[in-house]
Every structure is written in C-alpha cells, then in structure tokens.
C-alpha cells in the first residue's frame, strides 16, 4: 500500500519507536542539563541565570522529545517521528532500522514540509 496511513506500517516499526523514544528522550534531557550547567557558569547575576534557566526549561519542555505533539500511539508514529526530526531531537539516520516504507514516508513528509 502506498498511502501514508500510519496503520499500514509493520509492527516492527511501532516496537522500534517504543524502544527508541525513551532513549532519545533521555539523550535530549542530558544535553539540556549540560546547557543549563553552562548557563550557571556564566558571569551573569544569579537572578539573570535563574531567569535564563527558567525560560530555557519552559521552552525545552515543549520539545517533541519531552511532549510528543500527537498522542503516543501507533496511529501517530509517522507524525511524531517527523516532529522529532524537525526539532533536531533525532537525525534521519537514527531511523535506519525501520522499514523501507516507513523511512520513505518520513522522507516524503519532510520534503513536503520543506516546500512550505
């Protein structure tokens, strides 16, 4: 089937996403904690540091890594994966183990979004 209907992907794709998403999320959180520590090392006042970190945390919590834009479900596999790629949480290369059909649909979805 050539449609981009999320329900047509092999079970393997959903299982891979379910296994990899917590890893991607943890890696994202670790990178953000590192950024916060850099803010704390700056020569700014404590108040400025606190507000900078608060602003950054609020923004980071809205990332698809922390809060998927769509429900965490098989039917949103494609859109959630594309959102993670667009937010630079993962690279396209990180879905190499997924089915060819799914990878092709991700590429097509990304190209469609680029044209807007």
pLDDT digits (tens, 9 = 90+) for 11-70: 999 999 999 999 999 999 999 999 999 999 999 999 999 999 999 999 999 999 998 988
Exposure string for 77-86, b = 16+ CB within 10 A, e = fewer? bbbbbbbbbe
pLDDT of residue 2: 44
Residue 1 lies in a domain: no
User: What's residue 7's pLDDT?
Assistant: 58
pLDDT value of residue 69: 82
| 64 within domain boundaries | yes
Q: Is residue 85 in some structural domain?
A: yes
Q: Is residue 80 part of a domain?
A: yes
Both structure tokens of 30: 């670790």
| Max CA pair span of the chain | 59
How many distinct structural domains can be found in the chain? 1
Domain that includes residue 97, residue range: 7-114
Reduced to 3 states, what is the DSSP secondary structure of residue 116? coil
> Does 12 fall in a domain?
yes
pLDDT in the model for residue 1:
42
């Amino acid at each position: 089937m050539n449609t981009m209907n999320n329900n047509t992907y092999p079970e393997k794709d959903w299982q891979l996403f379910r296994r990899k998403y917590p890893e991607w999320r943890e890696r994202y959180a670790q990178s953000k904690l590192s950024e916060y520590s850099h803010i704390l090392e700056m020569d700014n006042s404590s108040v400025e540091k606190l507000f900078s970190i608060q602003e950054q945390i609020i923004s980071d919590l809205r990332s698809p890594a922390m809060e998927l834009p769509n429900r965490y479900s098989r039917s949103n596999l494609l859109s959630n994966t594309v959102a993670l790629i667009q937010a630079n949480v993962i690279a396209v290369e990180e879905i190499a183990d997924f089915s060819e059909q799914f990878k092709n649909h991700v590429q097509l979805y990304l190209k469609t979004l680029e044209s807007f």
